[in-house]
Structure 1
Amino acid sequence: MSHTPIGYQIKDGKAIIDKDKAKQVQLLYDVYLTGASLTSTAKSVGLNLTHSSVGRILQNISYLGDDYYPQIIKKDTFDAVQLERKKRAKKLGRIFPKKENVPVCYPKTFRLEKQEKKYKDPFKQAEYVYSLVQIKE
């Protein structure tokens, strides 16, 4: 089973809202939108979290509500936070273009030259044998 997001409790197999923690999560979203950094945002709402933990909370779509989790964050607030995160990432130069998927072409046939040397060291022997492999195009 995965980790239960902050702001929820599991009772009788169902997720219910923990009012105190849910209020902190709502404040976390609101304070982040004022321009505060991730860690200072967490400290200001009374959560002792790392930079990456706050980032994961701000990206967690469970807070919008689904079949299992009740809604804690409004969709417009969630969307505003996602836009702000992208804006900050772009400003800091942290948005990178996607790399092209270059297809890997594996050789289908190869030839092994005759082994003429024998080494006591198995690593040296393996290196020698691999050097004898000739790939056919």
Structure 2
Amino acid sequence: MEKKAIILSRVSSEHQTLEQQTEAVLKEVEKDGYSDDNIIIIEDKESAIKLSEEERNGLNKMKEYIENDPSINVVYIYELSRLSRRQLVLYSIRDYLIERHIQLICIQPYMKLLDENGKMSQSASLMFSIFSSFSESEMALKKERFMRGRYHNRKIGKIMSGFPPFGYSVNKEKYYIVNEEQSAIVKRFFSEYAKGNKSIADIAKELKEEGLFPKTSFFTLEHNIGQWLSREFYCGNQTYPQIISKSLFDRVQIERKKRKGKPKRSHKNRFMLKGLLFDVTSKRPLCAMNSG
């Protein structure tokens, strides 16, 4: 029975390419005497730190080939981190291959898992431990650098991902800039609410009637305006340019607090002592009920 080899290549993101990695390993495989008919190539783009062993498509394919084809006797990888960057997963795969007498050959740095007797030598065990530790610590350092970069960008006002809040856009340098059309609407609902003669529902109704939010339902728009009225970043900070003044924002917050203490005028039922009794803690209005 002719022996077969598996080449396992992996990158962690979509913008990375697999070709160079696979070609480098393929040269070593052909040097060891395997022909094209006896080489199985598994290429995958997936995270080796976020996903567990069971969630990794590449590892699952490798195991499926090994369990269904007894002629497979070796797995080639470019470097140990291509298997995984988590030590727990690496040791699990190592034991899986040893139990089935499958050789593991790593190209950079060169390492063979099993000796000529099909057993793992002390030197191979030591090298595996060292390089698996390097793989995990390298990823930990990358994550730490990434978080430092995100913190630095946030500190200088740059954004990394996500949609900008209503009233803003994002420029090519990844900074928030004022969206002229949306910011005019922000100024409008802050100003109209601060006057005290319109409710959030009144403002939402006017905006809908003017066709400014055609894809948003009235109730969603009413809810959004309520949220937007509490966003202090519209006054401007290191990340967000100023759209409204701090004095206008403060007037709106005073008006909202004042309205929360008022009884609902639109209620059709007539309640005894309406608007006269208030809860001492929450300041919410109370009324007497004649039922029960």
- What TM-score does the superposition give when structure 1 sets the normalisation length? 0.62
State the one-letter code of the partner of 2:239.
Y
SS, match of residue 50 in structure 1: helix
Larger radius of gyration: 2
Q: In the comparison of the two structures, how many residue pairs are matched?
A: 98
CA distance in 1, matches of 2:186, 2:280: 29
Q: Which residue of 1 aligns with 2:200?
A: 38
CA distance in 2, matches of 1:37, 1:15: 30
Q: Which residue of 1 aligns with 2:187?
A: 26
CA RMSD of aligned residues (A): 2.5
The share of aligned pairs that are identical, in percent, is: 30
Give deviations 1:6-47, integer Å, cap 9, x for gaps.
Answer: 110011210000111101100011111232111221333444
* Residue of structure 2 aligned with 1:56, choices 227, 231, 234: 227
The 1:65/1:97 distance shift into structure 2, 3 A limit, reads same
SS, match of residue 59 in structure 1: coil
CA distance in 1, matches of 2:241, 2:279: 32
SS, match of residue 9 in structure 1: strand
Q: Which residue of 2 aligns with 1:10?
A: 170
Compute the displacement of 1:95 (Å): 8.3
Q: Which residue of 1 aligns with 2:281?
A: 97
CA distance in 1, matches of 2:279, 2:164: 29
CA distance in 1, matches of 2:255, 2:185: 19
Compute the displacement of 1:89 (Å): 0.3
Give deviations 1:56-95, integer Å, cap 9, x for gaps.
Answer: 1000011011111000010110000000000000113898
* Residue of structure 1 aligned with 2:257, choices 52, 72, 86: 86
Unaligned runs of 5+ in 2: 1-160, 265-277, 283-292
Indicate the larger mover: 50-59 or 89-98: 89-98
State the one-letter code of the partner of 1:62.
F
The 1:95/1:58 distance shift into structure 2, 3 A limit, reads farther
Q: Which residue of 2 aligns with 1:69?
A: 240
Runs of 4+ in 1 over 6 A off after TM superposition: 93-96
SS, match of residue 71 in structure 1: coil
Compute the displacement of 1:52 (Å): 2.0
CA distance in 2, matches of 1:26, 1:8: 13
State the one-letter code of the partner of 1:90.
G
Considering Cα pairs closer than 8 Å and 6+ residues apart, tell me whether 1 or 2 has the greater RCO.
Answer: 1
Indicate the larger mover: 5-14 or 88-97: 88-97
Unaligned runs of 5+ in 1: 99-137
